[in-house]
Amino acid sequence: MLDQTPDAGLAMGETAESGKVRPEVSCSRQMPLSRQEERPTIYADRVGEWCVGQASGQWRKAHGIFLTPVPVADFMAGQIVATGRNIRVLDPAAGAGILCCATVEVLLARHPKPEVIELVAYELDGDLALSLRTVLDYLARWCQERHGTVVNTRIEVADFILANGTAMRQDELFSSRTQASEFDAVIANPPYFKIGKHDPCTMAVPDVVHGQPNIYTLFMAVSAALLRSGGRLVFITPRSYASGPCFLRFRALFFDMIRPAKVHVFGSRRDAFGRDDVLQENIILSGIRHDRWRDNAVRVNLGISSSSGVAGIDDAESHELPVGDVLDLGSVNKVLRLPIRGDDDDALKLVDSWPNSLHGLGLNISTGPVVPFRAAHLVAQAGQVPSSHAPLLWMNHVRAMRATWPLHRHKPEYIRREGATMLLVPNRNYVLLRRFSAKKQARRLMAAPWIAEDASVIDIGLENHLNYVHRPGGTLSIDEAWGLAALYNSRLVDTWFRAINGNTQVSATELRSMPLPSHEEIVILGRCVKRLADPLSGLDALVSSVIASPARKEAALG
């Protein structure tokens, strides 16, 4: 038997090794008792709700604690592929043990079932660790009585990253691993929050860190290093690691160890954790430890499924693609692309075939230079344009295919020209894009042409939540501005962008690398769309016809 005794000196409200203390809470309610014949996973869920309910929602968010719903736990556990008489399972962020219990239940439902399951569960929070002890004791009894299987459990009340960070050392990653590191399966719902570059966890695994990391990627990386060759890893996390420069080093190292096998995408930003106010777009990744699989010319498929939320997760729409089509580790950005519908792949292939980019067209994209709180002495609610003030545009001034200023709302819409030379841009033709998308926004990108001749101003201020496409040392033509704006607002480009980006933030880096059609097609599209009474009406059909129809090109040029 493995040690089943938690830290006997741990006081309620204190977390071991972290030095952090929970807010004082009332413990007048007793921990729920198990019910006769109750599934351990259901019991873990009830205990988890009771335990985290003792603390405030603000505390839960600050510590990244969100309990896994039972249907999600069952779905994740179903991805575990492990056989043998003795199976070792790791949960590096166990919480109340919901995923631990679901995994054991799934393993025991298979034939032949294991004789012994060794379960190692890390939980840094002392209160949760005490609840976890109760749940895992019930799990062990349930398994012995109903299945005759021994479940040995060990709870580590310790920081998982600090305790195991040495497993990520480059000189040890692909060497033979010790028995302590050979887990057959790792399953986790890790905490989600950003940590500083000098945080002890960051310093424990520096090889996967760039910029300001999120703690969940460190859990993924260290867990992958502790998995045996051929073992299975299943994580539910935000989707943000799949793209963007901040996670580039993580993707390079993690996907050199883990070959992705299945990904489930939650379409709703809230429904994966319906009882918590969570806005990230979450995914469930199932992968196999297969060191340097890309170098070995492995030709396998990746299964992608999706559901709006927890409801319908078992009947989710799914399809398969060659893994190399969605994860090109030989590329500069190493993005994991997730087209969630079968026809999305056709859209990706079409956009990928385009020959151009912003750089190829002599264009660039920059972020608005005005940070209002730093320029508080310059921004104003009123002003004389263009003599003493310039227009100041915010995100709410930009709608699909239309930039409107002023709006006469609560935000200051003017910026003083004197003293703001470095913050203003010349009044030229631009494409303005919102840097963030609203949670209910139909399309991820929202862009509008800014045409210089429509505004009798010398220069303009662009707030920091806007990106703008420009031609360095010159200006876009009117047709280029309209054509690019139409492309960015189209369903075709939205499909491509959503496949690579699951964040609310629209990254300028991703827009720079996005393929674009030929210059001729962009000009033709702009020439056509600007003639429409309503530029949004029929935009998708227009994009399709201009990109695919030679006859439409000739008519537009005519």
Structural domain that includes position 475: 364-557
Is residue 123 over pLDDT 70?
Answer: yes
Six-digit token string for 116: 């012994």
Looking at the structure, tell me whether residues 228 and 106 fall in a common domain: yes
Q: Let me know if residue 2 belongs to a domain.
A: no
pLDDT at 461: 98
Amino acid at 526: G
Most confident by average pLDDT, 56-70, 163-177, 431-445? 431-445
Which amino acid makes up residue 553?
K
In a shared domain, residues 133 and 265: yes
Sheet with 466-470: strands ordered across: 364-367, 466-470, 430-434, 447-450
CATH number at residue 173: 3.40.50.12420
Which residues, including other chains, have CB under 8 Å from residue 212's CB and lie 6 or more apart? 194, 195, 196, 197, 246
Is the same domain home to 168 and 212?
Answer: yes
Assess whether 59 and 200 both reside in one domain: yes
Q: What's the pLDDT band for 16 if we cut at 50, 70, 90?
A: very low
Say which range, 99-103, 248-252, 409-413, 496-500, has the weakest mean pLDDT.
496-500
**Does residue 471 sit within a domain?**
yes
The pTM of the full predicted model, rounded to 2 decimals, is 0.82
Q: Is the pLDDT of residue 5 over 50?
A: no
Tell me, what's the pLDDT at 2?
30
β-strand partners of 403: 398
Is the pLDDT at 13 greater than 70, yes or no?
no
Whole-number Å distance between alpha carbons of 315 and 292:
33
Q: Cα 322 from chain centroid?
A: 22
Q: Residue 512, exposed/middle/buried by CB under 10 A (0-12, 13-18, 19+)?
A: middle
Residue, of 539 and 175, whose pLDDT is higher: 539
Kindly give the residue spans of alpha helices, DSSP state H, lying in 33-178. Answer: 40-52, 57-62, 70-77, 98-108, 126-147, 160-164, 170-173
Per-residue pLDDT band for 503 (boundaries 50, 70, 90) equals low
- Quickly state the pLDDT bin for 548 (edges 50, 70, 90): low
pLDDT at 141 over 60: yes
Q: Which CA distances in Å does 404 have to 42, 417, 441?
A: 53, 20, 19
Query: Is there a domain that residue 31 lies in?
Result: no
Q: Which residue has the higher pLDDT, 442 or 524?
A: 524
Could you give the number of structural domains in the chain?
2
Quick one: 327 and 378 in the same domain?
no
Average pLDDT in the 432-443 region?
80
Q: What is the mean pLDDT of residues 518-543?
A: 93
The mean pLDDT of 530-541, rounded to a whole number, is 90
The mean per-residue pLDDT over the stretch 300-316 comes to: 86
Q: Is the pLDDT of residue 58 over 90?
A: no
Residue 12 pLDDT: 28
CB atoms within 10 A of CB 499: 25
| Band of pLDDT at residue 158, cut at 50, 70 and 90 | very high
Of 287, 312, 342, the one marking the end of a domain is: 342
pLDDT band at 440 (very low <50, low <70, confident <90, very high): low
382 and 337 belong to one structural domain:
no
Q: How far apart are the first and last CA of the chain?
A: 83
Residue with tokens 């709180």, as numbered in its chain: 373
In a domain, 71, yes or no: yes
Rounded to 5 degrees, φ, ψ at 252 are -60, -45
Name which of 529, 413, 406 is nearest 478 in CA terms: 529
CATH of residue 474's domain is 3.90.220.10
Please give the full DSSP string across 266-293, using - where no structure is assigned: ESSSSGGGTTS---SPEEEEEEEE-TTT
Residue 40 CB-half CA count within 13 A: 29
Q: Which of 75-79, 370-374, 547-551 has the lowest mean pLDDT?
A: 547-551
Q: What is the mean pLDDT of the chain?
A: 85
Candidates 459, 150, 221; CA nearest to 468 is 459
**Residue that the structure tokens 């990520």 belong to:** 168
CA distance 212 to 293: 28
Interval 65-121: pLDDT, tens:
678 999 999 999 999 988 889 999 999 999 999 999 999 999 999 988 999 999 999
Q: What is the pLDDT of residue 298?
A: 67
Are the C-beta atoms of residues 457 and 386 closer than 8 Å to each other? yes
379 pLDDT tier (thresholds 50, 70, 90): very high
- Local confidence band at 554 (pLDDT 50, 70, 90 cut-offs): very low
Asked whether residue 370 falls in the same domain as residue 250, the answer is no
Tell me if 504 is assigned to some domain.
yes
CB atoms within 10 A of CB 350: 17
Q: Single out the residue of 261, 270, 339, 262 nearest to residue 311, CA to CA.
A: 270
Q: Is residue 325 located within the same domain as residue 375?
A: no
Q: 257 and 176 in one domain? A: yes
- Report yes or no on 25 lying in a domain: no
Query: How would residue 122 be classed by pLDDT, with cut points 50, 70 and 90?
Result: very high
Distance CA 191, CA 20 (A): 15
Does 332 share its domain with 373?
Answer: no
Measured in degrees and rounded to the nearest 5, phi and psi for residue 526 equal -65, -40
409 found inside a domain: yes
Task: Choose between 161 and 8: higher pLDDT.
Answer: 161
Domain ends where: 310, 342, 374? 342
DSSP result, 463-495: BTTEEEEE-TTS---HHHHHHHHHHHTSHHHHH
Q: What percent of the chain has pLDDT over 90?
A: 58
Angle at 447 between CA 445 and CA 451, to 5 degrees: 170
CA distances from 150 to 59, 140, 142 (A): 36, 7, 10
**Is 337 found in the same domain as 369?**
no
Is residue 179 a part of any domain in this protein? yes
- Predicted confidence at residue 49, as pLDDT, reads 87
By mean pLDDT, which of 109-113, 168-172, 365-369, 510-514 is the weakest? Answer: 168-172
Least confident of 49-63, 399-413, 454-468: 49-63
Residue in the structure block whose two tokens are 């999600």:
72
Q: Where are the beta strands (DSSP E) in 308-356?
A: 317-322
Is the same domain home to 369 and 262? no
Domain boundary among 342, 376, 404: 342
